Amino acid sequence: MPFTALGLGPKITKAIKEARYEEPTPIQAKAIPVVLEGRDVIGVAQTGTGKTAAFVLPMLEKMQHRGQTRNMRALVIAPTRELVVQIEENVQAYGRHLHLRYKTIYGGVGEQPQIDALRRGVDFVVATPGRLLDLMGRGIVNFSDIEFVVLDEADRMLDMGFLPSIKRIVAALPKTRQTLLFSATLSKEIEGIAKDFLKNPVTVQIGARSTPAELVTQHVIEVPKAAKTDLLIHLLKDQALEMVLVFSRTKHGADKIARKLAQAGIATATLHSNRTQGQRMQALKRFRSGEVRCLIATDIAARGIDVDGISHVVNFDFPPQPEDYVHRIGRTGRAQAIGDAISFVAPDEADSLRLLERFLRRGIPRRKVEGIDLRLTEAAAKQAADLAKQKYDDAIGKRAERGRAHSARRGGDSRPSASGDTRKPGRIQGRNGLTTAKRDGVPSPFARSSRDSSPARGRSGSSQVPQRDGRPVETQGRSDERRSSSQTSWKPRGPRPSTRPGGGSGRRGR
């Protein structure tokens, strides 16, 4: 079916042709006519199905006739900055022959250009909820002419705790409008917000409820935890794994995998929220361009990434939530391409796998791997870990010995001090009030106060603790996902990511 049959006019179809789309994807074929008709829509589709064009194309088609206006008429809300940038790039591409003004609004970058654009007048805005609310609160946003609102990746926005923000935004919108909601999964919660925000919506669904992209081949490899990295290295010897997205549950896990792969001579890029926005963009760029064939990411950081041609998704850590699995594997098999999803499942992850299989209502085939003995690998990995622990214990033992010799020379430390200190022997008390248990006169790293997680800090009392006016000052711990992402301030540098509509090679049509 050609795009023209869906009711799109010549300017839009010209842009589609230039994007080298030959025919609509199933979600586009279903959603475009309904949106053109003016109905509210619930679209159940993952990233990779062509859902962005499914809502952007008919919106632009309808918007073009009125030309530029003073206030925004279309608002798309998406959970992450990356997704906002990607949606806007699509809007620019599809709307290149229209004379409309497009703008992104998101945090972490200077707000002035966004404010200036809103004041000058803009037709189509793509925004994250946080910055938009911020500007709304200061009276900079005028919603009075809004005709279209899209909530994209609504399930993700709920997961990320954006519901209160979205409620406030939607409450400020005109009642007469067309509302579209897209979500990879359709939960009770999503149905709830659809009921609150949409009027008599048409549900457009691709595949069965909550199922992963049909074009993704899935399998499971049962593997002891300690052997996972070796298994990954082994699999990567196969060049058919040409563009691999590896999911790690934690940021530290992602870094660890990257280090081990580097030791094995495999270059990777990592994507997690301890990295600055610039570093994340750089990682995506290296991956997209093929400079590295392996990108290691956490779930949050990988949200909404739009990379064509990912040949394999590897679940290094199995996701505890079935929805995360669906999202992860939706990163491959994009836009009619074929993809593979390989899940490493350790014995302690078997329950999560069972949960997923119940959710999907089908089993995922188990696969044996040739050319590697996972038990041997596990044994070797355990041996290496034991050796490292032995070295650590030896070092502790030596320090204890040195401590004993030192106290023997000084006649021990159990006598009260000359200043009449009556603190219990066997405890070191720092000025910060933290105490550190001692074993044979030597602080034991295993007996730290629960408030003190740093060995250096515990041993030397106050000297390692930042002080102000003689009191310990609270220092910020390692950043968590939320802190680090809200804290980073960045400006995209250099050219935009190269993946453009129709530009990816994919492995289409196999």
Residues that bind ligand AMP in the complex, under the rule CB under 6 A:
21, 24-25, 28, 47-53, 306, 308, 334-335, 501-502, 504
In whole angstroms, give the CA distance from residue 342 to residue 326: 13
Closest CB 438 distance from ligand AMP, rounded Å:
59
Min separation Cβ 92 and ligand AMP, Å:
12
Give the nearest distance from C-beta 22 to ligand AMP in angstroms: 6
Is 159 within 8 Å of 108 (Cβ atoms)? no
Task: Specify the residue, 19 or 396, whose C-beta has the smaller distance to ligand AMP.
Answer: 19
Query: C-beta of 314: minimal distance to ligand AMP in Å?
Result: 20
DSSP 38: T
Tokens 């990816």, residue?
504
- In the complex, the smallest distance separating the C-beta of residue 498 from ligand AMP, rounded to whole angstroms, is 11
Cβ contact 146:174 at 8 Å: yes
Cα–Cα dist 115/118, whole Å: 5
Pick 53 or 198: Cβ nearer ligand AMP: 53
CB of 254 to ligand AMP, least distance (A): 23
Determine the Cα–Cα distance for residues 170 and 162; give it in Å rounded to an integer: 12
Residue 508 per-residue DSSP state? B
Distance separating alpha carbons of residues 93 and 52, to the nearest angstrom: 12
Q: Which ranges constitute the DSSP H helices of 264-361?
A: 277-289, 299-302, 322-329, 350-360
Q: Are 449 and 412 in contact (CB under 8 A)?
A: no
Give whichever of 82 and 378 is closer to ligand AMP, judged by the CB atom.
Answer: 82
Tell me how far, at minimum, the Cβ of 3 lies from ligand AMP, in Å: 8
For ligand AMP, give the closer residue by CB, 49 or 178. 49
Q: Which is nearer to ligand AMP, 225 or 500 (CB)?
A: 500
Q: Which distant-in-sequence residues (6+ apart) come within 8 Å of 351 by Cβ? A: none
Cβ-based nearer residue to ligand AMP, 21 or 102: 21
Distance of closest approach, residue 490 Cβ to ligand AMP, in angstroms: 23
CA angle 177, 12, 499 (to 5 degrees): 100
Q: Which is nearer to ligand AMP, 182 or 344 (CB)?
A: 182
CA angle at residue 244 from 247 to 362, to 5 degrees? 65
- Of residues 306 and 349, the one with the C-beta less far from ligand AMP: 306
Q: What values do phi and psi take at 314, rounded to 5?
A: -115, 120
* Bridge partner list, 429: 435
Query: Closer CB to ligand AMP, residue 45 or residue 221?
Result: 45
**Termini Cα distance of the chain:** 19
Residue 492, token pair as written in the block: 């995209």
What are the phi and psi torsion angles at 170 (to 5°)? -65, -35
| Residue 445 parent element (H or E) | strand 442-448
Torsion of the alpha carbons at 188, 194, 197 and 200, rounded to the nearest 10: -140
| Shortest distance in whole angstroms from residue 47 CB to ligand AMP | 4
Q: How far is the CB of 304 from ligand AMP (least distance, A)?
A: 8
Q: Considering the complex, state which of residue 25 and residue 128 has its C-beta at the smaller distance from ligand AMP.
A: 25
* Between 47 and 436, CB nearer to ligand AMP: 47
The nearest distance, CB 487 to ligand AMP, in angstroms, is: 28
Strands 471-472 and 467-468: antiparallel
